[in-house]
Amino acid sequence: MRFREFIGLVESDLYRHTGNVSIPLVLRNIMFTPGFKYSFWMRLCTYLSQQTFSKYSIYWVSAIMLAHYRDKYGIDIPFTTQIGRGLYIGHSGGIVVGAESIGNNFSISQGVTIGQNNRGEKKGRPTIGNNVYVGPGAIVIGNIKIGDNVAIGANSVVTKDIPDNAVVVGVPGRVISYRGAEGYLLNPT
């Protein structure tokens, strides 16, 4: 990852939170917005871990900061997870993400688990498309594909592939409409 890509990711995450981008906003949100603070340190860890000059020096400072905020805010998204532009973490607490990859404009709420299934035909981790909203308490598990423009309702349990533009609710998750995530995404990039 190049430095300009890192800056672009941070700017897109900030835009999702504030609807604007500026240096004072970056500083204010790094200090006072748990979701943005976590995404900033996660992006910085990703960037520094790929740089030869910092891999054995300042990278460790960012990794320690990320671990600190993981424990403080209850957000566990590994910096090795491939996440596109515009990550929005609405509220902290009980967020665990173990996805293969996540597209652009991903919104995640508190109490969400996105993780691996260790057995059966869906063994593996989810892949999540662009413009996806995951409501509070939702669970997305197994080697499944969540399409683009999907809204997953609160406390839903998703264990099967979800097509583009779907709205999913319930246990087990079922598609109730094809109106997508429009209206659920704050400041998409």
pTM over 0.75: yes
91 catalytic residue (yes or no): yes
HSE-up of 108 (CA within 13 Å, CB side)? Answer: 34
State the catalytic residue, choosing from 28, 70, 91, 160.
91
Burial class (CB in 10 A: 0-12, 13-18, 19+), 150: buried
For the chain, the structural domain boundaries read 1-75, 94-182
pLDDT by residue, tens only, the chain of 189 residues: 899 999 999 999 999 999 999 999 999 999 999 999 999 999 999 999 998 887 778 899 999 999 999 999 999 999 999 999 999 999 989 999 998 899 999 999 999 999 999 988 999 999 999 999 999 999 999 999 999 999 999 999 999 999 999 999 999 999 999 999 988 998 888
CATH class of 94-182: mainly beta
Q: CA 43, CA 45: separation in Å to the nearest integer?
A: 5
